[in-house]
Structure 1
Amino acid sequence: MTTLQERPNTALLVVDVQNDVVGTAYDRDAVVANIAALVERARREEVPVVWVQHADEDMPKGSDLWRIVPELTPHEAEPLIHKNYGDSFEDTTLEKVLSGLGVGRLVVAGASTDICIRSTLHGALVRGYDTLLVADAHTTTDTSAYGSPPPEQVIAHTNLYWSHQKAPGRTAGTVAAADVELGGGADR
């Protein structure tokens, strides 16, 4: 249903599951395990897995903080997108990579819910992608000391509002990791 012409394929987009980003994240181990299971399913079903890795002055490229967590290992043939902004599309090669793979539907997992996941979801939808958030495969750290809600509420709120997103000719929604269909149709 995507508005992107001749792009019938789905990709699993794994955003910023890096040592610093998820080191103290809410429900870290369960979320990483859900992402690992999705990655393995995608590989078995020959669905592209596209990795996104953030760098900034607090998490310099090449540092241990910047590395993807040891439980997840991108295959050499899988695209790895380097970014410096919340939205994984902003000033990156992500759109070019997805276009080359014929992808018009994204299944999104990773971190941080309230920054890069939200930015990337919105960035994808406004660019024409059908965009599905895996409800139990994204997380964030506790920033309630700075006025944010607790992480479990941030995650629940993001799942709630993304399950009601829509745009002309595009679908959005949330689904549990166990219920993700990596094929063409939209999960709701």
Structure 2
Amino acid sequence: MTTLPDRPNTALLVIDVQNGVVAGAHRRDEVVANIDTLVGKARAEDVPVVWVQHSDDQLKRDSESWQYVPELVRRDAEPLVHKNYGDSFEDTDLEALLAERGVGRLVVTGAQTDMCIRATLHGAFVRGYDVMLVGDAHTTEDLSAYGAPPPEQVIAHTNLYWTWESAPGRRGGTVGTAEVSFAAVAED
């Protein structure tokens, strides 16, 4: 259903699962294990896995906190997108990488739910992609000291509102790791 012509393929996005980003994240180990399962499934189905890695003043490039968690290992042939903004498309080569691969549908995982995950979901959606959020494969840290709800509520709310996201010619949705299908969804 994507509005991007001639782009029937799906890609798995693994966003910012870096040591410093997920160190104190809600259900960190479970989320990382779910992402690892999805990476394995995507590889087995010859679906592109695209890794996204954030850097900024608090997350210095090449530092230990900037590195991906050791449980997730990127293959050399899998693209790595470096970003400095929440939306993984903003000022990066992500769009070009996806276009090269004929991708019009994204399966999104990673961290942090209330920052880079939400920004990328919306960024992809407004650019014409179908965007599926894996509800048990994204996480965030506890920012309740700053007025945010507890992480489990942030995650639940994001899963809830993304479940029914739709617009002309494209759709969103939320699915669990076990239900992920990398096959394109037929048009209604």
TM range (shorter): over 0.9
Count how many residue pairs are aligned between Structure 1 and Structure 2.
186
Structure 2: 5+ residue runs without aligned partners? none
Q: Distance in 1 between matches of 2:75 and 2:46?
A: 13
Give the TM-score of the pair, scaled to structure 1.
0.98
C-alpha separation between the residues in 1 aligned to 2:109 and 2:152?
Answer: 16
Aligned to 1:157: 157
Q: Secondary structure at the match of 1:12?
A: strand
1 CA distance for matches of 2:185 and 2:20? 34
Please name the residue that 1:48 is paired with: 48
CA apart distance, 1:22: 0.4
Residue 132 of structure 2 corresponds to 132
TM-score when scaled to structure 2? 0.98
Three-state SS of the structure 2 residue aligned to 1:171 is strand
CA distance in 1, matches of 2:101, 2:62: 27
**CA deviation digits over 1:84-127, x for unaligned, max 9?**
00000000000000000000000000000000000000000000
Q: Deviations over 1:156-179 (max 9, x none)?
A: 000000001111100110000000
**What CA deviation, in whole Å up to 9, does each residue of 1:45-70 have, x standing for no partner?**
00000000000011111000000000
| Deviation readout 1:1-35 (Å, 9 max, x if unpaired) | 10000000000000000001001100000000000
Q: What SS does structure 1 have at the residue aligned with 2:170?
A: coil
Amino acid of the structure 2 residue aligned with 1:67:
Q
The residue matched to 1:116 in structure 2 has which SS? helix
Post-superposition offset of 1:150: 0.1
Percent identity reads 67
Letter in 1 for 2:174: T
Residue 30 of structure 2: aligned partner: 30
- Once superposed, which parts of structure 1, at least 4 consecutive aligned residues long, lie more than 2 Å away? none
